[in-house]
Amino acid sequence: MITSVAVLGSGLMGSGIAQTAAAAGFRTVVYDVVPLALDKSLAAVARSLAKFVEKGQYTVAQRDEVLSRLEFNPNLAAAAKADLIIEAVTEDLAVKNELWRSLDGIAPPSTIFASNTSSLPIAAMAAATRRPDRFVGLHFFNPVPLMPLVEVVRAVGTSRETVEAAFAFARQLSKEPVAARDTPGFIVNLLLVPYILDGIRAVERGVASTHDMTPVAAWWKNEAATVDDYFFQLKCAARRLDYETVTAKLFEPAVNGRRRWRPEIDSEEVFLWHLGIPAERAGDFLDLFRSTRFEREAFWKFLGLSGRVYPKPTPRFVQRVLEKANESASVFSVQLFQDWLATAGVMSKDPAADRINLPGTIGPQNWSYVSPLSLEELATWPGNRGILELNKRTGRA
């Protein structure tokens, strides 16, 4: 029976798992080799619990009870005493296995080992221990206190009793456990990665824009050459970088969850200097810089436009986007039709304001659009001539 829990790693996922376990009544030890990281983890959990109090989901007394069940300790021996040890350190098999080998020698034989990995083989970690029958995957999703799904991953050597204990534990956390085989990506990522790749291939073939869910004018103005703030926070947590310090150096303040690069971050050398990581270890961060910092300039060139890159979308810019789309294998969509009307001045508002199928919305009118012109007006609309000429030039009419 599981009565105590230890969480290895005090990053975003580790802190969330620890908070959730403590909230479910488990005495929980959070282990990290960096004491400062433990201090930040405690502060993060306290902030999270404060939000629950503000929303009326916890009382102050309940918050204090959760915090009282948490112990933040840089001593691995303290974590080894738990009935269940959940690993949530960086996604590096060598790092994980070194930790498992150390724990395997000091933890009681009855202790269950679990990894929160999202992609690495559970069997490869279990093989580093002398308890493959008591090794299981427990893959939580972020933010852990809110996301109900937990993938329970059974490796080839995992016993039925261990799987049952993992399921019972997840249910005690008020989660929805699902059984997954020890295959790359388990369930969710197995479905997600091909979906993302299909999207990339669609862009490569010209079937759709990377921002098809957002009107091109709104994307250019609000999203182009920006970085998703939450995504960057996750990257910093994975590398144990101080998110607040790094973002203050690299970005303007976040607006609607997006961060725009500071003007002075204008080269890879400057970027790496502020990031504080050598180039040979900053591959993923460099990829992010290269794909976003000069996105506007690259897209401007792709459209065949010259001169100054305007931060606000002009009618000529939108027209060139539509022409590029029509030169590919794509078809006119609701978005393109809407953008054509905006370009011709028929729509009095920003296309983004009239968009029905905004990202993340679900409803009976999703993927629909009420034209400001009647069918009779559309038949004689002067803009039709421009569309016809465009289709003729690109061999579509």
- As annotated, the active-site residues are 118, 139, 151, 189
Q: How far apart are CA 264 and CA 120, in angstroms?
A: 38
What sign results for the dihedral spanned by CA atoms 167, 172, 175, 176? positive
| Residue 89: both structure tokens together | 């350190």
> CA-CA-CA-CA torsion for 371, 373, 378, 384, nearest 10 degrees?
-80
Q: How far apart are CA 145 and CA 17, in angstroms?
A: 7
**Contacts of residue 349, Cβ cutoff 8 Å, sequence gap at least 6:** none
Would you say 150 and 178 are in contact if contact means Cβ atoms under 8 Å apart? yes
Backbone angles phi, psi at 272, to 5 degrees: -65, -35
Q: How far apart are CA 89 and CA 77, in angstroms?
A: 17
Backbone angles phi, psi at 150, to 5 degrees: -135, 125
Would you say 152 and 137 are in contact if contact means Cβ atoms under 8 Å apart? yes
| Pairing status of strand 258-260 against strand 226-228 | antiparallel
Would you say 325 and 209 are in contact if contact means Cβ atoms under 8 Å apart? yes
Would you say 367 and 334 are in contact if contact means Cβ atoms under 8 Å apart? yes
Name the nearest CA neighbour of 239 among 90, 344, 119. Answer: 90
Q: Is 310 left (phi over 0), alpha (psi -120 to 50) or beta?
A: beta
| Residue 96: both structure tokens together | 């994980």
